[in-house]
Amino acid sequence: MEKQIQIIVKEAALNDLEKECLHLAENYSVRYAEKFRFAFFEQIITILPNPLKYPEFRFLPTKRKMYRNIIWQNYLIVYKVKKAVIEVLILFHTKQRPAKLKAIKKGRVR
């Protein structure tokens, strides 16, 4: 029997999503923000069944290529591949400071 892979969305990623949805609701519409939130979770589901199908996250190269990213619209969804767990770390808008990306490895993502 095949091992079940679990996806965990870390608090930092949920906070990023919430900030983005608030921005969209204030500047566009609540409906658009809700669609964005739904689409985010749809993108996360595409990680399964093969978590290695997306490219390695170039800002955090590792020997095991454990950090991966989904390029989605103007965002990067960064996740970490472990044995039976996928951790979604952040939702990063490409116009943000790249220093936030390097903080992932140090565990200082806010």
Query: Domain spans of the chain?
Result: 6-102
Q: Which of 72, 70, 79 is nearest to 109 (CA)?
A: 79
Strands (DSSP E) found in 10-95: 67-72, 75-81, 85-93
pTM of the model: 0.86
Kindly report the CATH number that applies to the domain delimited by 6-102.
Answer: 3.30.2310.20
Share of the chain above pLDDT 90, in %: 63
| Residue 109 pLDDT level (bands cut at 50, 70, 90) | low
Q: Which of 68, 40, 37 is nearest to 54 (CA)?
A: 68
Q: Is the pLDDT of residue 110 over 50?
A: no
